[in-house]
Amino acid sequence: MLYREAGQFKTTYVADQQIFPILQDRVFVLAVTVVAFLAVPMFASPYLYTEILIPFLILSLAAIGLNILVGYCGQVSLGTGGFMAVGAYAAYNLWLRVPEVNNLVVVFLFGGVMAAAVGILFGIPSLRIKGFYLAVATLASQFFLDWLFARVKWLTNYTPSGSVAVGNLSVFGWKIETPADRYLLILGLVVLATLVAKNLVRGHIGRSWMAIRDMDIAAEIIGFRPLRTKLTAFAVSSFFIGVAGAMWAFLRLGAWEPLAFDINRSFQILFMVIIGGLGSLLGSFLGAAFIVLMPILLNQLPGWFGIRMSTALLSHLEFMVFGAMIVFFLIVEPHGLARLWAVAKEKLRLWPFPH
Amino acid sequence: MLGPFLETLIGGLLTGVLYSLVALGFVLIFKASGVFNFAQGAMVLFAALTIARLSGEIDGKEVHLANFVVAAAILGVAVAFIGWYAWREYVARGAGPGERRRMLVLAAVGALVGGIAAYSYGKGAWPLWLAIAATAAIMGLLAYAIERLVLRHLVNQEGIILFMATLGIANFLDGLGQTLWGSDIYKINLGLPKDPIFLFEGVFPGGLLVDPGELVAAAIAAGLVVVLAIFFQKTRVGRALRAVADDHAAAQSVGIPLNTIWLIVWTVSGLVALAAGLIWGAKLGVQFSISLIALKALPVLILGGFTSVPGAIVGGLIIGAGEKLSEVFLAPILVKQFDLAGGGIENWFAYMLALVFLLFRPQGLFGERIIERV
């Protein structure tokens, strides 16, 4: 009843080609955005910001980046953590060495661009190597980049073990100090990036990615250039991931070392993409929310039931439950949470009078 | 110059054999079911933890009696089943009526006997052979659980979904092992000789220093490889496994039960994981970092090819030798040249080596040629 597109006629191409062709979708997305920008800062506590909202938003962006590569272009990558590290350390070096540029947006963009460059470099093997061979080959980038930031002293300004810290941040003169400031900045950037990503994947470039994903030889024969298509996917994906890495380092951690971007980070983001749904931007958000909230929930759960456990046991149980949940979700819905959402929408169209 | 070089080379090759062992577990599963099993490392850790805790002196750390009883019960069931299977195959020649009920009764009796034995024995260190047998039975049960609870529900899914599922299994196993057995560093005492031996003392000044423990470990690994090769080439089950690896549908249509084959394959790779865990645990101690050994085996895998058993072995040797040689000879040059904060290039060198190989042979050294059609 509420979600019915009957009677919504598109009379122009512009109306037909907008991102959300259905009125209810537009209203809903707008409402969520308004709530996120205006209502959330009114009641949110610092804990909610630093432990839930900020990680959720930044990792969503990283998941979008990876989803472009894995979900849209079909190139499995396990090097996400490494590209995040490139973004973080490139941003750090610009921030450190060019103090005149005390503008986080510029710093983040630089991190993204550097990550894109490195991404292209490590994307070149994808022209020869496919499938799981490629997945394992991308691990090379992960380990190499991890090593690079731990060992090359210049990149980390000669600090021991590569741990660096930033402070005194601002954007166009706006000092970023409280968690609320960080949240708003991240939210703004993520909304913008999502818009860009959405337009990329529904345009010409996105279609060429999908053609390559579905069958690369066929796509090549009908005229998509694999070199350009795959490398743009690597570049765009790494750009988003690099920006996310820079944001993670600057706005979530503040002080970090290469270990913050190790292989577990790569797996974490791949989990988000798979659990959320391959080839779906909404899925990236849902997956990120799931993976961010899940450990917090598991951590709190015994406390709510009044069960006391040692922290070691709790963390082991968390591992177990997390693993079991992953398997459970994959079995129940291999196409991810986004698919569940699509099914719900389909049901909602007929509600409350199904055939 | 030649002396140190050979020494490093031999050390690398011996380590490489162990990498091959882990890679072998990957290859077996990938060949038979197309699953890229990331849980292999977690299986190694789980097996090593179980052996260490069942056989080790109880060093003040609590291990529940229940763990011993359950382990013994599982062992009892396994022994009962193996006995029954042998009896059916070689004495009775075929299945009789009421088989299912008889199986259940048998399993219950096995569990009861094992459980009571462990309970009356009390908790304490088991002899190593018993611990290994019990762990083998547990790995079999684990394979059964994975096949039954996970893989069966994911038939016909894309490779990446299966891969993610094994990542979930890896998480689960890491947690399970440490919940059951604790997360301290344990020792496995295989009774390997510790004193280094020197070879060719006449040829090189001072001779070549070789760790006999590694030598024994490599010998065990090599023996295992031979046994596996015989199992694959000469037995009925092995032939069925190869048929499944060739073509699922065709194998099924001539009457090979896929689920049973998968169960066997996962059990075999569980046993390979057990061997790897035993050797690595004896060498480095049993701790969480053992599960990262899977990451060491991956370059071996892509170098040798996902579907090739000889590839896993040759790949392991190349990677092991390359890694050690690069660390000893290349890293100091790099450190000096670029003013690095230490070497440690062995973490990525193997991957880069494999990557360069792949650029020339995308299917690995011995992998099946990839034929693509539109």
**Surface of A (108-167) touching B: CB under 8 A:** 125, 128-133, 135-137, 139-140, 143-144, 146-147, 150-153, 161-162
Report whether B36 contacts B166 (CB < 8 A).
yes
Nearest to A323 among B175, B358, B373 (CB): B175
Q: How many beta-carbon pairs under 8 angstroms link A with B?
A: 152
Per-residue pLDDT at B97: 64
Question: Is the CB of B348 less than 8 angstroms away from the CB of A140?
Answer: yes
Tokens matching residue B248? 């699922």
| CA nearest neighbour of A290 among A280, A278, A298, A301 | A298
* Cβ-Cβ contacts under 8 Å, B170 against chain A: 323
* Cβ-Cβ contacts under 8 Å, A314 against chain B: none
Q: Looking at the domain assignment, is residue B133 inside a domain?
A: no
Minimal Cα–Cα distance from A311 to chain B, Å? 11
C-alpha to C-alpha distance for A155 and B213, rounded to whole angstroms: 41
Total domains, chain B: 1
- Is B1 in the A-facing interface, judged by CB distances under 8 Å? no
Cite the DSSP H helix spans in chain B: 2-33, 40-55, 65-86, 99-121, 128-149, 159-181, 212-234, 236-246, 248-253, 258-284, 293-304, 309-325, 331-338, 346-360
Q: Which domain holds residue B257?
A: 2-55+158-360
Per-residue pLDDT at A221: 92
Residue B209 has φ and ψ, to the nearest 5°, of: -85, 120
> Each residue of A129-170: pLDDT tens digit?
888 888 888 888 999 998 888 888 888 888 877 788 888 888
3-state DSSP assignment of residue A257: coil
C-alpha to C-alpha distance for A178 and B90, rounded to whole angstroms: 76
Q: Looking at the domain assignment, is residue B368 inside a domain?
A: no
- CATH code, A44-350: 1.10.3470
**Cβ-based neighbour number of residue B193 at 10 Å:** 11
Question: Is the CB of B362 less than 8 angstroms away from the CB of A221?
Answer: no
3-state DSSP assignment of residue A49: helix
Q: Looking at the domain assignment, is residue B109 inside a domain?
A: no
Per-residue pLDDT at A195: 95
Q: Looking at the domain assignment, is residue B166 inside a domain?
A: yes
| In chain A, domain spans | 44-350
Per-residue pLDDT at B154: 85
Report whether A186 contacts A44 (CB < 8 A).
no
* Closest B-chain CA to A143: B348
SS (H, E, C) B204-264: CCCCEEECHHHHHHHHHHHHHHHHHHHHHHHCHHHHHHHHHHHCHHHHHHCCCCHHHHHHH
* Cβ-Cβ contacts under 8 Å, A70 against chain B: 160
Torsion angle (degrees, nearest 10) of CA B287, B291, B296, B299: 180
Angle at B356 between CA B305 and CA A274, to 5 degrees: 65
Q: What is the pLDDT along chain A (355 residues), one digit of tens a residue?
A: 678 878 888 899 988 888 888 888 899 999 999 999 998 888 888 888 888 999 999 999 999 999 999 999 999 899 999 999 999 999 999 999 988 888 899 999 999 999 999 999 999 888 888 888 888 888 889 999 988 888 888 888 888 777 888 888 888 888 888 888 999 999 999 999 999 999 999 999 999 999 999 988 999 999 999 999 999 999 999 999 999 999 999 999 989 988 889 888 999 999 899 889 988 999 999 999 999 998 888 888 877 877 777 777 888 888 888 889 889 988 888 888 999 999 988 888 888 877 7
Question: Is the CB of B168 less than 8 angstroms away from the CB of A327?
Answer: yes
Question: Is the CB of A151 less than 8 angstroms away from the CB of B150?
Answer: no
Residue B343: CB partners within 8 Å, gap ≥ 6? A151, B327, B331, B332, B334, B335
Nearest to A323 among B154, B170, B298 (CB): B170
Residue that has been written with the tokens 């100091």 in this structure: B332
Question: Is the CB of B179 less than 8 angstroms away from the CB of A218?
Answer: no
* Closest A-chain CA to B184: A312
Question: Is the CB of B169 less than 8 angstroms away from the CB of A327?
Answer: yes
- Is B340 in the A-facing interface, judged by CB distances under 8 Å? yes
Per-residue pLDDT at B361: 82
Size (chain A), residues: 355
Question: Is the CB of B150 less than 8 angstroms away from the CB of A327?
Answer: yes
Question: Is the CB of A316 less than 8 angstroms away from the CB of B345?
Answer: no
Per-residue pLDDT at B96: 63
Q: Looking at the domain assignment, is residue B77 inside a domain?
A: no
Q: What is the mean pLDDT of each run of 10 residues along chain B (374 residues)?
A: 78 84 86 84 90 72 73 82 77 67 79 78 75 89 90 82 89 88 77 68 65 78 82 84 81 87 88 87 79 83 83 88 86 79 78 85 76 75
Minimal Cα–Cα distance from B352 to chain A, Å? 6
Minimal Cα–Cα distance from A84 to chain B, Å? 18
